[in-house]
Amino acid sequence: MELLDFYKGKKVLVTGDTGFKGSWFVRMLTLAGSVVTGYGLEPPTDPSLFEIAGIRRTVDHVTGDIRDLEHLREVFDRVRPEIVFHLAAQPIVRDSYKEPVYTYETNVMGTVNVLECIRLCPSVRSFVNVTTDKVYENKEWEYGYRENDRLDGYDPYSNSKSCSELVTHCYRQSFFQDGRPAVSTCRAGNVIGGGDFANDRIIPDCVRAVQAGKPIIVRNPHSIRPFQHVLEPLFIYMTVAKRQYEEPELAGNYNVGPDDADCVDTGRLTDLFCEKWGDGMTWINRYDGGPHEAGFLKLDCSRIRRVFAWRPRYHVEEAVEKTVEWSKAWLAGKDMLAVMDRQIKEFLKIDDSEDKRFGR
């Protein structure tokens, strides 16, 4: 509850609020009592969590492109945020091969524009740039990558996020050496959860197969990733931003991922989905060639655990169970904002007696 108390009344700006993670994030911040402004393009998928749950009605949403520096500055000047989270990105590896220029413009110059707005906005005290576990030069070795390992993503998406890390480091060294604002990057693993409708992601593919009444098609069942429920990294982003707001010396680069046991291959994740869903769901291994993607990727998250005493709350089995629960509720036509709220409160272990402190 200390974390939620900190955010009550704080002015927070989130880029990429219309995306999957962004929608969950602005809802969590809103329930914590923050004054939330979201900046992003129209939802990138149809359907989208942003529209399904009516998130647009719950925040000060500004439709805009982070490549548009002038517009972004106008929003910063109006809002005067105290805390900024940068989630806006072109996040799909395969799409980055199709549109590399757009990917670099968004993921690199978009970061430059956000940092430039922060440089010119004295109200900002804390900034977290959300990147990816794919920023590292991936040698597909068996141990997890640490924050001081070499950055050099292979594909345009991964490489552009590596560049975003370097841009953030440059601004921190050049303009924010006094810790005002405090600046961190969070390198998160693969997230799953209800409301992800993106292309070329395994859980959305599973849900689409359920809707179509067909077996799930898995492109590469042997690729290993650090899967975690979407609420896990969002919670730690809030924690990092809070702690560095209070203690700027804690700012830095942090891996955010699950326990080692939850780094599983895509085939195992799909097995779990089929088990939790029931109804005889099955999957088919159908490798389609496609562009290069890493086969093995694992993070060493010992630093963030040591600094912030953080431990993931859900294992991969529980993460899949919560995803299936959300998806079944959506297909049944339930109130999805209420479902989101319930899952957020369950994750944060908020009971009915504490509801009033939780923005109710």
Residue 291 has pLDDT above 70, yes or no: no
Cα–Cα distance, 319 to 333 (Å, whole number): 22
* Contacts of residue 250, Cβ cutoff 8 Å, sequence gap at least 6: 182, 184, 240, 243, 244, 307
DSSP states of 139-192: ---SSPB-TTSPB--SSHHHHHHHHHHHHHHHHHHHH-TT-SSEEEEEEE-EEE
* pLDDT 10s digits, 297-342: 788 999 999 999 999 999 999 999 999 999 999 999 999 999 999 9
Range of the domain at 246: 2-193+226-263+297-317+335-358
pLDDT band at 352 (very low <50, low <70, confident <90, very high): low
Query: Tokens 């880029």 identify what position?
Result: 15
Confirm whether 35 is domain-assigned: yes
Cα–Cα distance, 102 to 306 (Å, whole number): 37
Residue 88's SS3 state is coil
Structural domain total, the chain: 1
Tokens encoding 2: 């200390």
- Across the range 213-229, mean pLDDT stands at 88
Provide the 10 A C-beta neighbour count for residue 334: 12
| CATH code for position 80 | 3.40.50.720
Tokens encoding 118: 């922060």
Confirm whether 284 is domain-assigned: no
Cα–Cα distance, 235 to 223 (Å, whole number): 27
Confirm whether 286 is domain-assigned: no
By CB atoms closer than 10 A (0-12, 13-18, 19+), residue 268 is middle
Provide the 10 A C-beta neighbour count for residue 310: 17
Q: Are 16 and 44 in contact (CB under 8 A)?
A: no
pTM of structure? 0.94
Residue 289 has pLDDT above 90, yes or no: no
Q: Are 227 and 262 in contact (CB under 8 A)?
A: yes
Cα–Cα distance, 17 to 32 (Å, whole number): 16
Q: Are 140 and 294 in contact (CB under 8 A)?
A: yes
Query: Tokens 């994740």 identify what position?
Result: 269
Confirm whether 203 is domain-assigned: no
* pLDDT 10s digits, 127-166: 999 999 999 998 877 778 899 999 998 899 999 999 999 9
Residue 47 has pLDDT above 90, yes or no: yes
Query: Tokens 């912030």 identify what position?
Result: 308
Cα–Cα distance, 275 to 271 (Å, whole number): 6
Q: Comparing C-alpha atoms, which of 32, 17, 22, 12 is closest to residue 345?
A: 32
Cα–Cα distance, 191 to 189 (Å, whole number): 6
Confirm whether 105 is domain-assigned: yes
Q: Are 49 and 196 in contact (CB under 8 A)?
A: yes
Cα–Cα distance, 158 to 298 (Å, whole number): 15
Q: Are 314 and 229 in contact (CB under 8 A)?
A: yes
Residue 20 has pLDDT above 70, yes or no: yes
Cα–Cα distance, 85 to 71 (Å, whole number): 17
* pLDDT 10s digits, 176-205: 988 889 999 999 988 999 999 998 889 999
Confirm whether 129 is domain-assigned: yes
Return the pLDDT at 294.
56
Peptide bond into 47 cis (omega under 30): yes
Cα–Cα distance, 65 to 188 (Å, whole number): 23
Cα–Cα distance, 127 to 303 (Å, whole number): 19
Confirm whether 307 is domain-assigned: yes
Residue 29 has pLDDT above 70, yes or no: yes
Cα–Cα distance, 137 to 119 (Å, whole number): 30
Provide the 10 A C-beta neighbour count for residue 72: 23
Confirm whether 324 is domain-assigned: no
